[in-house]
Amino acid sequence: MTLLTQAVMVRANIDVDRMSAQQKVELADEIYVQQPNLLASILVLPRYGVDMLQLEVPIHVLLVASRP
């Protein structure tokens, strides 16, 4: 089991911040292949009143947590 330390999460956050939009789409595609329900649980949020600007936060968290 991998331990997610603060240093690992900080590095992952920096990596995601530096990604291009295309790289983020590719990472989201990888997440979809391995955990489609996890991605779907975030993408459904607009149906519950979350606007697109607010949706960026949970998507960013998902990308950071999924960063290899």
7-58 pLDDT per residue, tens? 989 999 999 999 999 999 999 999 999 999 999 999 999 999 999 999 999 9
The Cα 23–Cα 21 span in angstroms is 5
Stated pTM of the model:
0.84
Instruction: Say yes or no to pLDDT of 68 above 80.
Output: no
**How many C-beta neighbours within 10 Å does residue 64 have?**
19
pLDDT in tens, 5-16: 899 899 999 999
